[in-house]
Each structure stands twice: as C-alpha cells, then as structure tokens.
Amino acid sequence: MFNISTSVLAVILGGGAGTRLYPLTASRSKPAVPIAGKYRLVDIPISNCINSNIRRMFVLTQFNSASLNKHIKNTYNFGAFGSGFVDILAAEQTPDNPGWFQGTADAVRQSMRHIYNFEFEYILILSGDQLYQMDFAEMIEAHREKGAEITIATIPVAEREASDFGILKVDDDQLITSFIEKPKKELLPDWASDTGDEMKKTGRNYLASMGIYIFNRDTLFEILKETFPDYPDFGKEIMPQSINKYKVVSYQYDGYWTDIGNIYSFFEANIALTEDIPPFNLFDNNNRIYTRSRMLPPAKISGTMVDNTIVAEGSIVLGSSLKNSVIGLRSRVGAGTTIENAYVMGNDFYETLEIMERNRQKNKPELGIGARCFIKNALIDKNARIGDDVKVIGGPHLENTDHPLYTIKDGIIVVKKGAVLNNGFEIS
C-alpha cells in the first residue's frame, strides 16, 4: 500500500545569491527572507510538505545560510520517535565536486550522496522562494496514475508574464510535447494552450512551469549521472531535453502562486496579504503555515486608526494611522506616525529602558520607527532605527539607486537591515 510519508522525499532549493532581491539578501539567503510579518520564505514549501504528509525534507543552500540554518534548527523538530526531519545540505567541496553549485540540477547532483542514503520512490523538488498553497499528495497521485517518470507542476499565465517562464505544450493526456525556456514575445502565438475556460476568460493562455518537479527515484539518478551529467539546470536544460527521452507529464495548478523573484514581486505579495480576501490565505485551518514559536506578547495598539493591516505579535504601535501595511514582529511605531502601503519587518530583539536612555543621550534613534514619520511605498528591513519626523515616500518618480542606508527599485524604497535614519531624514 502506497504511503506518502515513507515513499516521498522533498528537496527544497535555496537558490543562488539572490541578487534581484538585494538588499534583502545582503546578509541572508533567499529562503530566509522574512515574509508576512512573522514567517520566512522557506516556511512556505516546508508547510506545504507537512500539510501533504511529507515529513522528510532537505534544504539545499549555498549563500548566506547562517540565519536560515538557525531558523530551521529552532523551528522544525519532529521528535525522537518519528522519521521526519528538515535538514540543511550546504554546498561543500569534495574530491568529486571541488566547485560550488552551478545550478538547480547541479545542486541536487552534488547532494545525491546524502539524499540517496534514504529510501524513497519519488523525489519532490521545490523552490525556496515561491508563495503558494498546494496539496502535493494530489500531484503525486496524478504522477502515479499517469505512470509518469517526471511530472512538472504548471500554471496558466498571461502573455505579459509568459516570457519570464519556461512555457510548454501538452497533448490530450497531459503529456508534455514541447518546452521552451523564456520565449521571446514574437514567438508566443505558437505556444498558446487550452488552459480551460476559466483561465482563458482571464487571458491566461500559456502553460508555465512552476519549477516544482516530481521524479521517480531511478529516473532522477539516471538523468543526473548518466543522461545529462553535465547539465547544471533543470529549467534551462534538463526539462527541454527530457521530454524526448522520458514520459514527462504536466500537472496543472489553478490556485494562487507567485514567484518571489525581485523586490517588486516580493513587496506586492506582502501587501496583497492585507486585502479583505487575500489571494494567499493565511487563515486556513487545512493549510497552516508553520514557523518558529517565539513566545511573544500580543501586539499593543494605542490611539491608532488601523485599516487593512496585519500587525504581528510583540509590536507596540502608537502611530496615528496604519493602512494597507504589514507590521512585523516586535515593531515599534511612534506617536503621530503614518504608514501606508508598506512592509515593516520588525525587530529581532527589544531594547531595555536603560539602553534606550543611553541612545537618547547619544542622539541615536531607538529601534523601530519614531514619532511623526510618514512611510509609504516602502519596505523597512529588520532592526532599522528611524528617528522622528522622517519621510520615506516611494513611487514611480524615483530612480533606481543604491545608497549605504537604502535601495530604490521600481519605486519601492528598501531601508536596509540595521540602517539608521536620523531625525528629519527624507527620501521622497
């Protein structure tokens, strides 16, 4: 009898240096970037696995992995009497592999000597920087029913997005017949698919790879070691070549999914959580998002008008207005401050009254956001110190730039982790 918990092993790819998410990735890996005020990006694929009864997971990392290692160690412990685990596999130099990971497939290839020590029938390969809720058990069942050797999770996308993804076409049995990586716009008319009536009504006529794969155990070994031993990447090289050699099937997913590839998509995904009915549902008993238990006090809000805003635990808010914003763990917002369309990540610790007094004597702003500030279209990274009467106002009028204290990308101002903006500082 098939048992998903003993038959499936998951590998979560930590990604590369994350340059498109800079400065959030200046001191942390992409999967460790905080999201939704209290989680880390890696909590999303791990939670999807747990909710699908997949409890054996490896997270492959290479860049800035210290905070990710700490988070996973402090969060995911399945107990001494179970077989579940979430383990980090960091890039390592060995006599056989003297270099670092060169791509998604190379990362799995270099980690195989650890992964293949475990018994499994199927391996589920996931990205560590996507926001979605999927029942992998359904995908695995479809893989088994089709007798597939490889299954690729796909999602319908519109023309404006199609050139950013691997686009594929399928036959009536969902067998993938052709695949092109990031096609140019002039090629798109030849790549439209029947994505279903509901999808076509919204203009989503192209099937895009989500970067989520299921391989049979022997198939993956053969591909990485024998068929394509020199190909470093799944999406760019292995998948387009595999459709002519293996039975590769599409599993179409029609729910919410977004790739957190750059600052703008990351910002938009977080702000979308504040909608009355958000596309990504944090309030779902059947799809819980797991993270570290911090034992923090509840948020305290005094004299503040709050509208469509998420406020994480441990926060102290005295500001005048919070609107369409996410306020992260242990945030401090001073009296008279207005925050609109912003993500404030919060802080890793509280300052004592003694430290706060010493900071005042040195004219150093306290941890958090001071009084009478105006924050809009901005992302405030952790442990920032923003003084009184500060204005941080993003928008399309601003040019992209990188400053020691902040970065501007696509009109979004990102105040860097630990940055100090003194009283009266202004970016607008």
pLDDT tens digits, one per residue of 100-153:
677 889 889 988 889 999 999 999 999 988 999 999 999 999 999 999 999 999
Q: Extract the tokens encoding 7.
A: 């038959």
The pLDDT assigned to 206 comes to 94
Domain end point (choices 257, 272, 287): 272
Residue 284 lies in a domain: no
**95 confidence band (pLDDT: 50, 70, 90):** low
DSSP 106: H
pLDDT at 53 over 90: yes
What CATH number is given to the structural domain containing 146? 3.90.550.10
Q: Extract the tokens encoding 177.
A: 């017949």
Shared domain for 244 and 332, answered yes or no, is no
**89 confidence band (pLDDT: 50, 70, 90):** confident
Shared domain for 35 and 182, answered yes or no, is yes
Domain end point (choices 272, 289, 320): 272
Residue closest to 131 by CA, chosen among 42, 3, 22: 42
Mean pLDDT of the 273-290 span: 92
Mean pLDDT of the 301-316 span: 97
Residue closest to 110 by CA, chosen among 128, 95, 130, 129: 95
d(CA 6, CA 319): 51
d(CA 235, CA 426): 43
Residue 31 lies in a domain: yes
pLDDT at 17 over 80: no
Using alpha carbons, list the distances in angstroms from residue 225 to 106, 108, 190.
10, 11, 34
- Other C-beta atoms closer than 10 Å to the C-beta of 44 total 28
Domain end point (choices 252, 272, 292): 272
